[in-house]
Structure 1
Amino acid sequence: MPKAQETVLEIDLTSLEHNYRYLRSKIATSTKMMAVVKAFAYGSDSVAIASRLENSGIDYFAVAYTQEGVSLRTGGIQKPVMVLHPQTHNFQLVIDNCLTPSLYSKHILTEFIKTAEELKLQDYPVHININTGLNRLGFSAEEIDDVISIFRKTSAIKLVGIYSHLGASEDLDEKEFSHSQIEKFKRTSEKIIAAFDHKILRHLCNTSGILNYPEAAFDMVRTGIGLYGYGNSAEQDKMLKPVGTLKTIISQIHHIKAEESVGYNRGFVAKRDTITATLPIGHADGISRLYGKQKTAVLIAGKEAPIIGNVCMDMLMVDVTDIDCKEGDEVIIFGKERSAEKFANKAGTISYELITSISQRVKRLIID
């Protein structure tokens, strides 16, 4: 990998390919796979990620919002794209870009049918979300008879997929809850399928579901965080490769005397003569104030340099007293050498939040 000369997020497509192949090996060859590329592909580059996966044989994509799907289409992505959380205002845009909406409430269902009928569409493909216990989005089991009835009254849309979302698939202490979700989804989806005479895809498993509940793979699985190199357990993390590596450099080195302070609000007061390094990355780039005040550290010359004081908007400072380094040297925030999961955990958060927070002003460098 090239040495950083500025703050940059390297996106390694070879690692992405490795993760995709590994996760594919955990499911039957007949089972389809949906890649979740919402939030700029978990903070990386959605078009670059989707393009590589499309070329590798992925079956489906998922995004959270309509505009994310539009960006994929603009970037040349041809495979089906499901919009997980569409809003009525964007239904025309969904249809114009051949996106597949997830319909999760009677209001959203009837409004999408209204739009489809006004446009004189025939059998426009849709998925429905079943609430099996996450209690976030989705139809309840008690609404299913009405949902079936609504579908039977129109030819403008066609039900092609049924899905739900496991709420604790990574937590093996919650097996009972996960099994209850699986059984509820199975019962509800079977009832819906029995009401139609065409093939309907069922998908339930997320990354941890693929790894911990292979019996619940059904017709398709969805994977997000696993594609980017994190498996929600130390054991699985060893089998995956982080796709993103966030790097920066040392802008300036300071020699601080004991009792002198560093940064806003004197967030760090030196207890001894200290050498600090200022880095050109801050909370506007996605490294929030959570990570300051020595909660976590960056890597310089293979050694941990604690983040000291309060993280600034465009800069942060680290303690390099015991590290042989100079201005212009490379700094690793997270990546292959130091997991985003470890970096995030030290500050009491998770890898998802960290990697999806990396600002779009940080340069993306595609490594292939």
Structure 2
Amino acid sequence: MPKAQETVLEIDLKSLEHNYQYLRSKVAHTVKMMAVVKAFAYGSDSVAIASKLEKAGIDHFAVAYTKEGENLRAGGIEKPVLVLHPQSHSLKLLIDNCLTPSLYSKHILTEFIKTAEELNLKDYPVHININTGLNRLGFSPEEIDEVISILRKTSALQLVGIYSHLGASEDPAEKEFTLSQIATFKKASEKILEAFDHNILRHLCNTSGILNYPEAIFDMVRTGIGLYGYGNSVEEDEKLKPIGTLKTIISQIHHIKAGESVGYNRAFIAKKDTTTATLPLGHADGISRIYGKQKTAVLINGKEAPIIGNVCMDMIMVDVTDIDCNEGDQVIIFGKERSAEKFANKAGTISYELITAISQRVKRFIID
């Protein structure tokens, strides 16, 4: 690839396919796989990612909201798309795009039945979300009997999936909690399975669940962060390939004298003569202020250049005193050479937050 001439997020679809095949190898061939492509496919490009995965053999997709599913359909995606957090106002749009709703509360369940019956639908596919301890969305186990009763009274819907979400499957210290979630899900889902005589998919595992809790792999697994190259552990990170590389260039180099300041609020004051480089990206591009004040660094010609002062809306400044570089030289924020996880951890956050924050004004460049 040629060196960047502007700020660009390169998206490597070959690395995506590598990650998909690695995760696929962790489950039996009879187990279906759902790719989570919400939030612009974790800050990349949802249609490009979904298109590649559809060709590779993915079974299902998941998004957070209906508009995200509509975007996939507009991009030609045909496989089933589960909307994890549909809202009442978007239910007709969801149906118009042949998306599958996750029904997580009595309110959204009754609203969807009302909409489906008004449209004279029959056996429209739905998934039920069971709250097993994350306490975010989902029916409590105590509500299962009522959910079964409501579903039995309508012919407009057909239950095709039951799922829950593990809250700490990457954390060995929370193994007891995770095992309790698995047990709760198994008991609640078995009650539902007994109430219906057709095939219903059960899915519980996220990326870390796939890797750490094979006993919780039911009929389908969901993977998000793993597809994008991060396994929530050093060991698994080495087996996966980050698909995104955020690059930019040096706009200008300054020679700062001892005692002079750099940036807003004089957040950096030079203790000695210092050479700085200004880069054309900032918190409007997803590199938030938490990364400033020398908490983390970018790579220039293979060397770390700490981010100094406050991150600006459109610019960051880095210390290049000991780096041989020029205006126009390429800068790596994160990617294969230095992962988003390491960049984020230095500032006390996680790769999820960093990669999903890359704004839409950053140009995406697809590599396949």
Q: With the length of structure 1 as denominator, give the TM-score of the two structures.
A: 1.00
Give the superposition deviation at 1:214: 1.0
Matches within 5 A, 1:182-201: 182-201=182-201
Question: Whole-Å Cα distance in 1 between the matches of residues 165 and 248 of structure 2?
Answer: 37
Q: Which runs of 5+ in 1 are unaligned?
A: none
Instruction: Please say if 1:264 is aligned against 2:276.
Output: no
1:190 partner SS: helix
2:278 partner SS: strand
Instruction: Please say if 1:76 is aligned against 2:76.
Output: yes
Question: Whole-Å Cα distance in 2 between the matches of residues 75 and 2 of structure 1?
Answer: 28
Matches within 5 A, 1:35-114: 35-114=35-114
Q: Which runs of 5+ in 2 are unaligned?
A: none
User: Aligned partner of 1:176: which letter?
Assistant: E
Q: Which residue of 2 aligns with 1:294?
A: 294
Instruction: Please say if 1:357 is aligned against 2:357.
Output: yes
Q: Which residue of 1 aligns with 2:8?
A: 8
Instruction: Please say if 1:237 is aligned against 2:237.
Output: yes
1:247 partner SS: strand
Matches within 5 A, 1:165-180: 165-180=165-180
User: Aligned partner of 1:295: which letter?
Assistant: K
Question: Whole-Å Cα distance in 2 between the matches of residues 124 and 180 of structure 1?
Answer: 32
Question: Whole-Å Cα distance in 2 between the matches of residues 244 and 214 of structure 1?
Answer: 28
Cα RMSD (Å) of the superposition?
A: 0.4
Instruction: Please say if 1:203 is aligned against 2:203.
Output: yes
1:254 partner SS: strand
User: Aligned partner of 2:257: which letter?
Assistant: K
Question: Whole-Å Cα distance in 1 between the matches of residues 225 and 3 of structure 2?
Answer: 26
Question: Whole-Å Cα distance in 1 between the matches of residues 82 and 247 of structure 2?
Answer: 33
Q: Which residue of 1 aligns with 2:325?
A: 325
User: Aligned partner of 2:289: which letter?
Assistant: R
1:108 partner SS: helix
Give the superposition deviation at 1:69: 0.1
Q: Which residue of 1 aligns with 2:144?
A: 144
Give the superposition deviation at 1:2: 2.3
Give the superposition deviation at 1:220: 0.1
Question: Whole-Å Cα distance in 2 between the matches of residues 264 and 106 of structure 1?
Answer: 50
Question: Whole-Å Cα distance in 1 between the matches of residues 325 and 178 of structure 2?
Answer: 49
1:328 partner SS: coil
2:175 partner SS: helix
Task: Give a deviation string over 1:272-331, Cα, whole Å, max 9, x none.
Answer: 000000000000000000000000000000000000000000000000000000000000
Matches within 5 A, 1:330-341: 330-341=330-341
1:148 partner SS: helix
Q: With the length of structure 2 as denominator, give the TM-score of the two structures.
A: 1.00
User: Aligned partner of 2:173: which letter?
Assistant: D
Question: Whole-Å Cα distance in 2 between the matches of residues 38 and 20 of structure 1?
Answer: 16
User: Aligned partner of 2:324: which letter?
Assistant: D
User: Aligned partner of 2:149: which letter?
Assistant: S
Task: Give a deviation string over 1:133-183, Cα, whole Å, max 9, x none.
Answer: 000000001100000000000000000000000000000111110000001
Question: Whole-Å Cα distance in 1 between the matches of residues 95 and 276 of structure 2?
Answer: 54
Q: Which residue of 2 aligns with 1:158?
A: 158
Aligned residues: 368
Q: Which residue of 2 aligns with 1:220?
A: 220
Task: Give a deviation string over 1:162-215, Cα, whole Å, max 9, x none.
Answer: 000000000011111000000110000000000000000000000000000011
Matches within 5 A, 1:24-35: 24-35=24-35
1:128 partner SS: strand
User: Aligned partner of 1:236: which letter?
Assistant: E
1:305 partner SS: strand
2:307 partner SS: strand
Question: Whole-Å Cα distance in 2 between the matches of residues 246 and 278 of structure 1?
Answer: 16
Question: Whole-Å Cα distance in 1 between the matches of residues 114 and 361 of structure 2?
Answer: 40
Task: Give a deviation string over 1:347-367, Cα, whole Å, max 9, x none.
Answer: 010000000000000000000
2:333 partner SS: strand
Question: Whole-Å Cα distance in 1 between the matches of residues 190 and 201 of structure 2?
Answer: 11
2:196 partner SS: coil
- Percent identical among aligned pairs is 84
User: Aligned partner of 1:221: which letter?
Assistant: V
Moved beyond 6 Å, runs of 4+? none
